[in-house]
Amino acid sequence: MTKGHISKIRYLALAGAAAAALCFGAPTAQAGKADDTLNIAWDVEVPNANMYFDTSRNGVIIAHHVWDALVWRDPATGDFKPALATAWNVVNDKTIELEIRQGVKFHNGDPMTADDVVYTYNYLAQPDNGILNRNFSNWIAKAEKVGDNKVRITAKDTTPLMMLYITELGIYPEKYYKEVGPDGMGLKPVGTGPYKITAVEPGKRLEFEAFADYYDSPKGKPSIKKIVQRTIPEMNTQVVELASGRLDWIWRVPQDQAERLEKSGRVQIINADTFRVGYLALNAAGGPEDSPLRKQKVRQAINHAIDVEGIVKNLVRGSSQVIHSACYPEQFGCTDDVKKYPYDPAKAKALLAEAGYPNGFNTTLYAYRDRPQNEAMLSNLAAVGIKADLRYGQYAATRDALRKGEVPIASLTWGSNSVPDVDAILPIFFGGLPDDLAKDTEVQGWLKDAASTLDQDKRKALYKQALQKIAEQAYWVPTFTYTTNYAISNTLDFKPTADEIPRFWTAKWK
């Protein structure tokens, strides 16, 4: 090696050291408790912060922090409590009158009035408003002011879930919204909620700050001053940032990573149930005339063939529950009092033989997530002679094929949009809509009756009837509830809810 070489190497080493020194001095986000900032990460980009223009889970979470609705539902008890409305009166099946709270301020300082309420509801009722999130607002016919602080809201039809829907509809400031429009609202949102948004970098970052003028709401005053949300698509990166203190809260951590994180001792793992249930949808009324799935005994055999308990125990783990009914156990109207099909391959084979398929048959199983679980189910089916090809695709493509009646068996999940009522699941899959593969007119009738009465006991009875027939006919193979792992800093006090809406205004530092 010549002298020149050596001096070059020395130069490189110096440059490296300088770079390293700069890195040491590089600013990194600090752990949250010290500067009262909760650092959270989501894996999906938030398109904008306008709650009615984002159908994603994150949009719902933002909505609950930035906007208050007229009524608030206590997630612990299910009771309705006054929020932006102080009192209400259900006039008849389609009409409700509400007394609007006075002295509430929007984040921009404007007072919230009955006019803002009327404006918001009438805006949501317009068919051409372009909003994406219509599930909670489709029922509104109109809103009108019937006194200085009194508003009357009329529904198009009898709406049993009206109160529940009202709790999801944030009130927009009329003057500001007319000024900035939907796009402006997405970049500089203004609501009355416990947190105001102080910065929006679409897709990358959101900054929330506790709203100092927040009214005396049943939600309670927020304790943590700032929340910074960042989008980090890769879970491994999220995990490292949590473990090294740059994040305080992440969720949807896969079980194996959660177990490892917990061992590190720096974070707490909370495994909590969600409203999402898994199921196999069986094409009971469609497909070719001679499709085996048209036979009740075949469908029952499939139910007996799948070892749901084994899958939950070995693959899903955590606090996931085995379900037997086509709904999430805690939803209003859900019941476990239905025919159950314990894992019994011998019985499954016997049923198949009775149905005329002693050697089983070939079919296709469509799936869009959870490959290991689906492969376990495939081998369960193969064990009783049902040889199913796995067709793994995108959610939209799977659902399209299903709606065209091309899918014999589909492995799907449903989160009920976090609505704690079976109205958010049964009518969609058994009420005659495009996703209804059973096309059972009797069940459709009961569901229709249940949707046109405000008598909650009657609804409960009708849903029970429907769920019992769905199980008896084995239209579905209900599998298990999905749980999610929250991994949070040891310094944080946070309680998850099954509706998968983290309520950060209730979070505290320990």
Instruction: Give pairs for 208-217: CB < 8 Å, separation 24+.
Output: 208/65, 208/66, 208/504, 210/505, 211/107, 213/105, 215/101, 215/103, 215/104, 215/105, 217/68, 217/72, 217/83
By beta-carbon proximity to other proteins, the closer residue of 7 and 86 is 7
Q: How far is CA 361 from CA 288, 381, 384, 407, 408, in A?
A: 14, 10, 10, 15, 12
In the complex, least distance from residue 481 CB atom to other proteins, rounded to whole angstroms = 17
Name the nearest CA neighbour of 69 among 48, 98, 32: 98
* Contact pick of 395, 448, 452, 495 for other proteins (by CB under 8 A): 395
Is 250:486 a contact under the CB 8 Å cutoff?
A: yes
Per residue, what are the HEC states of 122-181? HHHHCCCCCCCCCCCCCCEEEEEEEECCEEEEEECCCCCCHHHHHCCCCCCCHHHHHHHH
- The answer to whether 272 and 282 are in contact (CB under 8 A) is no
Question: Would you give the end-to-end CA distance of the chain in angstroms?
Answer: 61
Tokens of 256: 């194996």
Nearest CB to other proteins, comparing residues 130 and 265: 130
Q: Distance between CA atoms of 135 and 11, rounded to whole angstroms?
A: 65
Residue among 329 and 415 whose Cβ is closer to other proteins: 415
| Stretch touching other proteins by CB under 8 A, among 201-209, 288-296, 326-334, 373-381 | 201-209
Shortest spacing between CB 313 and other proteins, in angstroms: 27
**Cβ contact 288:406 at 8 Å:** no
Q: Kindly tell me which residue out of 179, 433, 455, 490 binds other proteins, with binding defined by CB under 8 A.
A: 433
Helix (H, G, I), strand (E, B) or coil at 347: helix
Pairing of strands 195-201, 205-210: antiparallel
Structure-token pair, residue 284: 């009971």
Q: Is 9 in the site for other proteins (CB under 8 A)?
A: no
Find the shortest distance in angstroms from Cβ 61 to other proteins.
14
Amino acid at the residue 55: T
- Applying CB under 8 A, among 7, 28, 89, 108 the residue interacting with other proteins is 28
Q: How many angstroms from the chain centroid is the CA of residue 261?
A: 24
Here's the x/- map for other proteins, 256-295, by CB under 8 A: it reads as: ----------------------------------------
Instruction: Between 237 and 456, name the residue whose CB sits nearer to other proteins.
Output: 237
The reply on whether position 396 binds other proteins by CB under 8 A is yes
204 binds other proteins (CB under 8 A): yes
Element (H, E) at 400: helix 395-403
- Binding test (CB under 8 A) with other proteins, winner from 45, 74, 144, 336: 45
Within 10 angstroms of residue 208's Cβ, the number of other Cβ atoms is: 28
Cα 348 from Cα 354, distance rounded (Å):
10
Residue closer to other proteins (CB basis): 100 or 451:
451
Between 300 and 398, name the residue whose CB sits nearer to other proteins.
398
303-340 burial code (b ≥16 CB/10 A, e <16): bbbbbbeebbeebbbbebebbbbbbbbebbbbbeebee
State the number of binding residues for other proteins (CB under 8 A): 53
Out of 68, 116, 241, 500, the only residue in the binding site for other proteins (CB under 8 A) is 241
Q: How far apart are CA 195 and CA 47, in angstroms?
A: 19
Name the minimum Å distance from CB 234 to other proteins. 4
Smallest distance from other proteins to CB 105, Å: 27
Q: Binding to other proteins by residue 76, rule CB under 8 A?
A: no
Is 405 among the residues that bind other proteins (CB under 8 A)? no
Residue 215 or 328 having the CB closest to other proteins: 328
218 binds other proteins (CB under 8 A): no
231 binds other proteins (CB under 8 A): yes
DSSP structural state of residue 35: G
User: Of 30-38, 46-54, 89-97, 308-316, which segment contacts other proteins by CB under 8 A?
Assistant: 46-54
Helices (H), 197-344: 235-243, 255-264, 296-305, 308-311
Minimum CB separation from other proteins for residue 378, in Å? 23
CB atoms under 10 Å from CB of 54, counted, come to 20
Nearest to other proteins of 82, 415 (CB atom): 415
Nearest Cα to Cα of residue 74 among 249, 190, 217, 196: 217
Site string for other proteins, 350-389 (x = CB under 8 A): ----------------------------------------
Query: Is residue 135 within the footprint of other proteins (CB under 8 A)?
Result: yes
Among 394, 441, 457, 510, binds other proteins (CB under 8 A): 394
Mention every residue, 6+ apart, whose C-beta is less than 8 A from residue 296: 473, 474
Q: Which of 285, 428, 461, 501 binds other proteins (CB under 8 A)?
A: 428
Single residue of 7, 30, 236, 314 touching other proteins by CB under 8 A: 236
Q: Which of residues 259, 400, 453, 461 is near other proteins by CB under 8 A?
A: 400
Residues that bind other proteins (CB under 8 A): 4, 19-20, 22-24, 26-28, 45, 47-48, 53, 55-56, 127, 130, 132-135, 138, 182-183, 186, 202-204, 230-234, 236-237, 240-241, 243-244, 246, 393-400, 415, 417, 428, 433-434
